[in-house]
A and B are shown apart, each in its own frame.
Chain A
Amino acid sequence: MKLSKESILGLIALGTFLFMALLAPGFLSSNNINSMMFQIPEFGLLAIAMMVVIVTGGIDLSITYIAALAGVGAALMLTNGFGIFPAIIMAILFALACGAFNGFIVSKIGVSPILVTLGTMVLFEGVILAITKGSSISGFPDAYSLIGNGYYLGLVPFSIVIFAIFAIITGLLLSKTSWGRRVYMYGSNEVATLYSGVKNSKVLMKVYLYAALLAAISAIIMTSRYNSVKVDLGSSYLLQSVAAAVLGGTNIHGGYGKVIGTIYAVFVFQFIRNGLNLLGFHSSLVDVVIGSILILVLTMNFFSDKFKKKQEQKNASQAA
């Protein structure tokens, strides 16, 4: 039986879950399961956003600051007496503006994404610092905090429902629409894509806009969950989201990557982090474990790819 990269990772996720369930006391308690479900969406959305960008062979280092800036947008509206709906719209608008900026420089001017987003990361951070003066904005209405802290139908966290919806939408957009196919095409060979009559810049622009949109949704969940926003909101997720996307099987050179793989990777991270916390491991050790697993899986992927290529070559030469 042949298993895809994603299914193997899914089994690893299941394995870590069972492992932690056996080892960590209270891992399966309904309290803990609930708190894990509250922790997954904000990170999962950022990881998916990062994945979409990486599929084009780029990277978005400004993603957490886009999220923070979107959060500031929502916070400004809320603290100035506007309702929840305008606040959400404002968050999305702020993020889309950032995404458009990134997208414009990457796609129209053609600067490499890592440089552009490194620059905009500092730029957005500066903008937030200028707006907030470095302190946090807080004090949102109770109804707003339900987005990140409430339960849907009294059963599952509302935020995980939002996460599921966006995960499905992203999956559909990538696999069923022409834009999605072009994203993969661009990622594997941009020149060939261009000569197939695809407007590369348009595809790229939409990629950065979409990543920014996901960042905005993540920001709404975060600000609602923490009831405040600060310049470094979610900044610890930046490299983690790259790690999750890559662990999820996304090719860092572009051209390949699946939503489900990224989600499994987010689960693996979540189970390990939570389990080790319950076991009372020191936080720095948790980082060591996660780093090791990442290296291990990537090395395994590398060798299995190499092995596959060799086999294919063998088959080809045999056929000839």
Chain B
Amino acid sequence: MKKLVFSLLMLMFLVGILAGCVSENTSGSSEEGSNDSGGEESSDDGEMNIAVVPKLVGIPYFNASETGAVQAGEELGVNVEYTGPTQADASAQVKVIEDLVSKNSDVIAVAPNDPASVEPVLKKAKDQGIKVMDWDTPADKELVDLSVKQVDDEEFGRHMAGKLVEAMGTEEGKIAILTGGLSAANLNLWIDAAKKEFDENYPDIEIVSEKIPTDEKQQVAYQKTLDLLKSYPDLKGVLAVSTPAPLGAAQAVQEKGLQDEVSVVGSALPNDSEPFLEDGSLDTAVLWNPKKLGYLTAALGKMLAGGEMPEDGQEIENVGEISVKDDGKTVIMGPPADFTKENAGDFDF
């Protein structure tokens, strides 16, 4: 034990000495060398390389956006590489980005698992003259050249509220709100917008309790909805935010056979919701089209590499009209997409 303690102390001491000599950059010569080799490579193939990094590969949502991004690459004549970690682990994602930086991509678009963890590597990419953007989930706003958002949060929340009222068929009654987690920033924005919509346009709608967290789990949402149905027999509607929550709520409604009495509207993927949409236990699933999001990301990547910036109201082929926020670099893809009984089968995500 004494030896171990001694060697640890030695180590501390050593590290202390070492730490004094640590600097942020390599010494000048090697830095220049790396820049040179970078220049040569990118001029070699002449084609634009756009890298699109999802949170992880191999799940339906990101497979759909891959299809879109690759399609954009083929149609626009740019090299799109869609690569990401096989687990939603921030450190695995950073490695993928680091390799892309080594490869001298022209543009790197990232959907960060953890916005803070990609900051250092995005800085490194920028230092090497690579354009960086985020998509799906925002990264540090100061760092990125362009930020692609799927929907406007305010519009999305209000849209869901409107859909719920439509499904209930009445502008009065009791409703409940389920959410994925109390601290999820985007979910909270959506819920606040939905509440505003209820307050302003449908004052006779009563929200029975505070928003109810479901831990991003279908099972929990199912349980909480059962409890709600018991405590409020006259409940008219459930607004479920986060992708598993609407499924759980619909499952509860389905089990109780309350399809016609209780309306459920929420944000979910069409393939998951199809069984519930069919018998009306879920009335409408509202989300966006991830394939289009992938396409838009690649298309904007090409513009960015060519030194162009998108403009408000610009028409992007295969995507539609986009809007650009006042800061000039936040792009909103468009209005939310509704998935209903009629169209849910047409999508492959």
Contacts and interface: CB of A to CB of B under 8 A. Distances in A.
Q: Are A and B genuine complex partners?
A: yes
Interface stretch (A106-114, A219-227, A292-300, A305-313): A219-227
5 contacts: A138-B119, A162-B18, A169-B7, A173-B7, A278-B103
Contacts, number: 160
Contacts of B89: 232-236
Interface string B26-56: 1100100110011001000000000000000
Given A165-B14, A284-B58, A227 B120 contact: yes
A177 B116 CA distance: 42
A236 B58 CA distance: 15
Contacts of B192: none
Given A149-B24, A206-B4, A42 B34 contact: no
A304 interface: no
A228 interface: yes
A92 to B, nearest CB: 9
Interface stretch (A29-37, A120-128, A252-260): A29-37
Contacts of A206: 1, 4
Nearest to B57: A283
B87 interface: yes
B120 A226 contact: yes
B220 interface: no
Contact of A34 (B4, B26, B58): B26
Contacts of A173: 4, 7
Interface residues of B, number: 55
B40 to A, nearest CB: 10
Q: Nearest 8 A-B pairs (CB), nearest first?
A: A138-B116, A228-B116, A154-B27, A226-B117, A32-B102, A277-B99, A150-B22, A236-B89
A162 B7 CA distance: 14
B228 interface: no
B215 to A, nearest CB: 9
B201 interface: no
Given A165-B14, A228-B90, A282-B57, A151 B117 contact: no
B116 A227 contact: yes
A133 interface: yes
A266 to B, nearest CB: 13
B230 interface: no
Nearest to A206: B4
A153 B23 CA distance: 7
A145 interface: yes
Given A162-B15, A283-B84, A287-B86, A225 B22 contact: no
B91 A151 contact: no
A109 to B, nearest CB: 22
Given A26-B102, A283-B84, A31 B37 contact: yes
B107 to A, nearest CB: 16
A232 B116 contact: no
Interface string B188-208: 000000000000000000000
B76 interface: no
A136 B185 CA distance: 13
A151 B120 contact: no
Contacts of B187: none
Contacts of B37: 26, 29-31
Contacts of A189: none
Given A35-B102, A165-B14, A230-B114, A149 B34 contact: no
Interface in B102-128: 102-104, 114-120, 128
Contacts of B7: 169, 173
A136 B117 contact: yes
Contact of B11 (A30, A151, A165): A165
B325 interface: no
Given A225-B120, A283-B57, A29 B98 contact: no
A101 interface: no
A38 B103 contact: no
Interface string A118-158: 00000000000000011110110000011101111111001
Nearest to A234: B91
Interface string A273-288: 1100110101110010
Nearest to B24: A150
Contacts of A135: 183
A230 B117 contact: yes
Contact of B181 (A134, A147, A232): A134
Contacts of B27: 151, 153-155
A22 interface: no
A31 B120 contact: no
Contacts of B100: 277
A237 B4 contact: no
A39 interface: yes
